Structure 1
């Protein structure tokens, strides 16, 4: 199975590149300058030239706060570009897996969000991702939209790496305690995407496998609980640690408002695709261990001062 992965530097794209071989698959990453979602004119040619059995759109404008000041760019990449990708996948007659987000919800529900719960984005990023979902559904039939949340990995910028960096500089870190979600390993997402890809390819007439799904790590936590577990694991592994000081989201204002409830109900994915991601705590430990080991190697090479 040859997977065209849109995106080169993102957490999911890099995780797919790492995990594909273990599943007997090949992940071919394509991104800027060859393929730029902000420039729809070159998307079709780039995808056709690359060629593959399935397309995974793992690229997006993900700078949540910056998106508030550049809504046109966010909408171009996350909305219009996603639609062009979907139309191209349909023309190529290959399945499309599109990665979306918990930010399509306003976070006011008192339960983990299901796929059929009302959407109400709080900011530009969420609205642009919702636009992308709608564009995919309009342009293609053979697709699976996978909403995920609170993604972390050994790659790129993410909460785990930020917490470990802060713990190296201070003894106490204030972390939001009144927002709850589903911490999700990008490596687990990659495994899930590959499983869904195989299902779409092997069962082309099964409409239940198509549509909208939630795919996030098992279990829930607040950001403060997530940080506490990161520091506990890091201390056990001889890495940096700090005390967590729980704070309210109102004490840490940001340009974009975040959902207070980002918990996702992933029952539909389990029942249709047979995919269940591991508990976030079990996936967090190897990630923290890997990051600590990589930092030590960089220090020995003289890359960290």
Structure 2
């Protein structure tokens, strides 16, 4: 059987891990590489890796995702999110390998839900750097598609869900209620990208759409998402969890502004890939259950 090899950059991040753990069909094999194995900002590094085997597709999950740090280090954010994307697009075009470039809802600043043709207007450095990366990919690689996602979470990374659960023992938490988005499980996004690659293999092209949106069904405010996380954490046992006080984003002295409404419309992806993901609440429950199991399984090292 001929194997379809899929290269994933950013293999140590949330999405990279999820793609490595996804149930790829027989005949499809994923190769997730870390930054040390493939620095997307170095053309010779990327070109060498692309020359190692006949790749079926490349999924670019490498990104600078620290929204607050990006305000202090814009050059670093643009180097990875814009220059890195441009280098990867140039190299995949030269190697005639299709590219899936993962982007973000933070390219938007107005009211949602946003479809793929909505006007982009980033409100922070991170969003601007990701938008620059999108433009570089679309300009340099004809056989490429940009997939925007939002509010990504898993059981291992530093994300909203894991950070909230780190505060499970607090008496009260202030949570922003005037920012709305589309929570997305990393495992669900991985499954969606898997389906997109399968479509590419079947049809010989991704689709006529060069930009797609993917998120779990439904939307939520940060406050609603936090409440769902603690509801899942408490479960039937009724474990004590913090009181959640709804506050405005202005109550926090954040360096980076966040979009007030970054909800994504994902109908085009569902039509192109033939895949509609579950509701975000189901993904949250699964991730919280994984975190519970991991914490319950920890064995404290006895004092020596």
TM-score (norm 1): 0.92
Contact 2:100 2:146 in 1 (8 A): yes
Give the equivalent residue in structure 1 for 2:256: 256
Give distance in 2, aligned partners of 1:18 and 1:290.
14
Contact 1:10 1:156 in 2 (8 A): yes
SS of equivalent residue, structure 2 residue 55: coil
Matches within 5 A, 1:96-135: 96-106=99-109, 108-109=110-111, 111-135=112-136
Match of 1:64 among 64, 67, 70: 67
Give distance in 2, aligned partners of 1:22 and 1:278.
20
Match of 1:47 among 43, 46, 50: 50
Give the equivalent residue in structure 1 for 2:5: 2
Q: What is the CA-CA distance between 1:139 and the residue it aligns to?
A: 1.1
Give the equivalent residue in structure 1 for 2:282: 282
Give the equivalent residue in structure 2 for 1:37: 40
Match of 1:18 among 12, 16, 21: 21
1:192 maps onto 2:192 in alignment: yes
User: RMSD of the TM alignment (CA)?
Assistant: 1.8
Q: What is the CA-CA distance between 1:52 and the residue it aligns to?
A: 2.3
TM-score (norm 2): 0.93
Contact 1:13 1:29 in 2 (8 A): yes
Q: What is the CA-CA distance between 1:23 and the residue it aligns to?
A: 6.7
Matches within 5 A, 1:141-290: 141-168=142-169, 170-205=170-205, 207-208=207-208, 210-236=209-235, 241-290=241-290
CA 1:205–1:18: 2 relative to 1, 3 Å? closer
- Note the residue ranges of structure 2 that are not aligned, 5 or more in a row: none
SS of equivalent residue, structure 1 residue 246: strand
- Note the residue ranges of structure 1 that are not aligned, 5 or more in a row: none
CA 1:12–1:237: 2 relative to 1, 3 Å? farther
Give distance in 2, aligned partners of 1:163 and 1:241.
11
Per-residue Cα deviation, 1:143-184 (whole angstroms, up to 9, x for no partner): 12110000011121111111111013x121111000001110
Give distance in 2, aligned partners of 1:182 and 1:23.
31
Contact 1:44 1:84 in 2 (8 A): no
CA 1:105–1:206: 2 relative to 1, 3 Å? closer
CA 1:128–1:206: 2 relative to 1, 3 Å? closer
Give distance in 2, aligned partners of 1:115 and 1:160.
27
Give distance in 1, aligned partners of 2:54 and 2:33.
11
Count of matched residue positions in the alignment of Structure 1 and Structure 2: 298
